[in-house]
Amino acid sequence: MYKDTAGIILAGGQSRRMGTDKALLKIGERSVIERVAAALGSCVPQLCLAAAEDRSYDFLQLPTAPDRFPGQGPLSGLYAGMNALDAQWYVLSACDLPFASTRLLELLLQKAQSAADGLPVQAVLPTYQGRRHPLYAVYHHSVRPSLETALQKGQLRVMDWLNQHRTIELSLEQLLEQHSQQAKGDLSSWCLHNMNDPEAYKQALQQADSSRFLQ
């Protein structure tokens, strides 16, 4: 458990491509959002949801962060979570990662906190196959003012906002090579797989059936 940290789960999307609330789809015995909450809850002492008030997530027994900028996408959710919980570092996760990895979050937090002793760092995010993943990442509280400015101006592209800050990227491929099987924990090439549509859900079910993730 990392001190002075908090977790934010983004669950405000409309799931249009999935056709149903993707966060509530089951992988094994648990819904995807339960799996995400378990991954984050294992490494941070406080956790909240950035979700619409009409969503049925009461079973998680987590507070919902009030949204000052409803309908404005992931940046709005990050901002809501930062205002709801007081911390130095915030772990952010989308709600549609069925194999969300506690170990990956630990490595991101370790890098964030060690880098803070040198040049100031405001975000640490993973990359996989050349793609950056800002919605499964760690953010310093100092990004909050720029978040508010971007939202007030309607500048909602996550990468455009992120590029204004000092960031560190960790390659998932390199992390998998560097760590022994025991040290990897739940770290895998699937931990950044997001379920945006029925085909991605099908792939997740197939992976769960063929692996230890079906728990």
Highest mean pLDDT among 19-28, 45-54, 151-160: 151-160
Q: Which domains can be identified in the chain, with CATH numbers?
A: 5-209 (3.90.550.10)
**What is d(CA 168, CA 28) in angstroms, rounded to the nearest whole number?**
34
pLDDT value, residue 212: 55
pLDDT value, residue 130: 94
Q: What is the mean pLDDT of residues 94-105?
A: 96
Q: What number of H helices and E strands is found in the chain?
A: 8, 9
Task: Compute the mean pLDDT over every residue in the chain, rounded to the nearest whole number.
Answer: 91
pLDDT value, residue 119: 65
pLDDT value, residue 214: 42
Instruction: Give the phi and the psi of residue 190 in degrees, each rounded to 5.
Output: -95, -5
Can you read off the two tokens belonging to residue 16?
């249009």
pLDDT value, residue 116: 62
Kindly state the DSSP code that residue 64 receives in the 8-state scheme.
B
Classify 205 as helix, strand or coil. Answer: helix
Across 43-189, the runs of DSSP E, i.e. the strands, are: 47-51, 89-94, 123-128, 131-132, 136-140, 167-171
pLDDT value, residue 117: 61
pLDDT value, residue 165: 95
Q: How much of the chain exceeds pLDDT 90, in percent?
A: 76
pLDDT band at 175 (very low <50, low <70, confident <90, very high): very high
Which residue type sits at 152? Q
**What is d(CA 170, CA 42) in angstroms, rounded to the nearest whole number?**
21
**What is d(CA 137, CA 80) in angstroms, rounded to the nearest whole number?**
16
Residue 103 has pLDDT above 60, yes or no: yes
Per-residue burial over 82-101, b = 16 or more CB atoms within 10 Å of its CB, e = otherwise: bbbbebebbbbbbbbbbbbb
Contacts 24+ apart (CB under 8 A), 196-205: 196/17, 196/18, 196/22, 196/96, 197/17, 197/18, 198/18, 198/19, 201/18, 201/22, 201/25, 204/27, 204/98, 204/99, 205/27
**What is d(CA 159, CA 133) in angstroms, rounded to the nearest whole number?**
10
pLDDT value, residue 143: 97
Three-class HEC string of 156-188: CCHHHHHCCCCEEEEEHHHHHHHCCHHHHCCCC
**CA-derived radius of gyration, the chain:** 16
Its pTM stands at: 0.93
Residue 7 has pLDDT above 80, yes or no: yes
Residue 35 has pLDDT above 80, yes or no: yes
For residues 181 and 46, the model is more confident at 46
